[in-house]
Amino acid sequence: MRWLIGILINATLFVAIAGFSEESFYVSSFGAAIGASFILSILNILVRPILIILTLPVTLVTLGLFLFVINAITLQITDNIMGSSFEIASFGTALLVAVIMAIANIIIQKVVFEPAKDK
């Protein structure tokens, strides 16, 4: 259930971020955002751990900041899989979206999921 909520939250974030930067980040519909969020979650399960292991020395030297680059790479792969319904103009845009999504997900987890643990 938590995984499904995470997909819906990421899809909402995709639509919101696309609304602010229409030229560099485009999502055609909420359905496309859900599809992109689903693909991104699958990539985070399958590809992201491999990328983290391969780039572990760089990640350690940058004190974990290279993980944003890995997130941007998975967003670029999602862009390639989705086609024209989900477009990211450049790697810089993907990096910015990755940072915004990471910050938003941390805030949402603290607000939504942490109070549920207290009960």
Mean pLDDT of 104-113: 87
- Long-range contacts of the stretch 4-10 (C-beta < 8 A, 24+): 5/112, 6/41, 7/34, 7/37, 7/38, 7/41, 8/34, 8/37, 9/105, 9/108, 10/37, 10/40, 10/41, 10/101, 10/105
pLDDT > 90? residue 102? yes
Mean pLDDT of 45-71: 95
Q: What percent of the chain has pLDDT over 70?
A: 96
Give the start-to-end residue ranges of the domains of the chain: 1-110
Mean pLDDT of 35-60: 95
pLDDT > 80? residue 113? no
Using the CB atoms, write b or e for 29-40: b if 16+ within 10 Å.
Answer: eeebbbbbbbbb
* 90 contacts 101 by C-beta, under 8 angstroms: no
- Window from 17-21, 37-41, 89-93 with minimum mean pLDDT: 17-21
Mean pLDDT of 48-63: 95
